[in-house]
Amino acid sequence: MPSPFPGMDPYLENPEFWPEVHSRLIIAIADAIAPQLRPKYRVAVEKRIYQMADEDSVLVGIPDVVVGRSLTTEKSSNIAVAAPAAKPLIVNIPIPEEVREAYLEVREVSTGEVVTAIEVLSPKNKRPGEGRKSYQSKREKILSNFTNLVEIDLLRSGEPMPILGEIQSDYRILVSRSEFRPKAELYAFGLQQNIPAFLLPLRQGDIEPTVDLQVLMQGVYDRAGFDLAIDYSREPIPLDEDILAFIDNRAANNGGIPNRSGYINNVLSQHRRTILEKEMIAALQEDANDPEYQEEIALWDCVVANGIE
């Protein structure tokens, strides 16, 4: 079941879904490019591990302690009771959180050398803190050596990774080829556009496979069943006014549906109907090419014809 959005689905940016999207997309990219890179290269799934202890990390809550009065009858006592100490505040304290971020490395089989690093950015990479510091440190090392870099940013929130020049876009894919630095290829695109495909950089002279991120994201969406998990009647994480106007305009031009959620649900319904029609056509074509089935149909035609006569 495809997403109702033409490119990136903003509902997938929700923190509830993004970790799964990230994990599935990393594996989908690896599975798509690995057969095209054999036997010279292999694709390794690696993990970056670091500790975080900021306002976004896991908090240790101190539970309220309730002293209840006994339900049994209390006996009088002559014991003196000290006045209670000052009442403390109940607070949360941050504890170190181990963060694991997966990324891909294309390695040359004969030497084990990393030829290309592929990164799908996470929210922690785009906001101040250890996550951004850790990724920026690795990014700087890659950009200073002979490793190619593919950096995929499918998150509208947070601070984009630095490039020279001011370019505004919802999403971006950066392809940095070691031999062309400091120049790099930037695919900047918006919510209204398809996710662009790009060539995976390798060694000079090698055939570079095309990475069709739109197809891969559609596969992730379908296999994960996000159409069943996402409530499209609710607003996604904040959208810019021009994007909301785009959705409203699409709604108005598609049968005058009065609201965004109605439009999105209508698109989903149309997609389901289209998929069902395709499945029915495929089944009929399969039957048409099945000699045994056609022979059986011919026999039934003879039976029906004889019965009519």
For residue 41, the tally of other CB atoms under 10 A from its CB is 22
In the structure, what pLDDT confidence band is assigned to residue 234 with cuts at 50, 70 and 90?
confident
Res 15 pLDDT > 80:
yes
Select from 168, 161, 175, 212 the least CA-distant residue to 190.
168
Note the pLDDT tens digit of each residue in 139-172. 999 999 999 999 999 999 999 999 998 889 999 9
Distance CA 15, CA 13 (A): 6
Note the pLDDT tens digit of each residue in 50-101. 766 654 443 333 333 333 333 344 455 555 656 666 888 888 777 777 778 8
- Please, which residues have CB within 8 angstroms of residue 163's CB and are 6 or more apart in sequence? 174, 184, 186
pTM of the predicted model, to two decimals? 0.67
What domains, with CATH codes, occur in the chain? 10-53+95-229 (3.90.1570), 241-308 (no CATH)
* φ, ψ for residue 93, nearest 5 deg: -120, 140
3-state helix, strand, coil in the chain (%, to 5): 40, 20, 40
Return the structure tokens found at 300: 């039934």
Higher pLDDT, 272 or 234: 234
Q: How far is CA 202 from CA 35, 115, 118, 186, in A?
A: 15, 6, 12, 17
Does the bond joining 182 to the residue before it have cis omega, within 30 degrees of 0? yes
Q: Which of 17-26, 107-116, 241-250 is least confident?
A: 241-250
Eight-class DSSP state of 209: P
Return the structure tokens found at 294: 């056609």
Distance CA 103, CA 119 (A): 5
134 near 48, Cβ under 8 Å? Answer: yes
Q: What is the DSSP string of 48-88?
A: EEEEE-STTS-EEEPPP---PPPSSPPPP-----PPPPPPP
**pLDDT score at 64:** 32
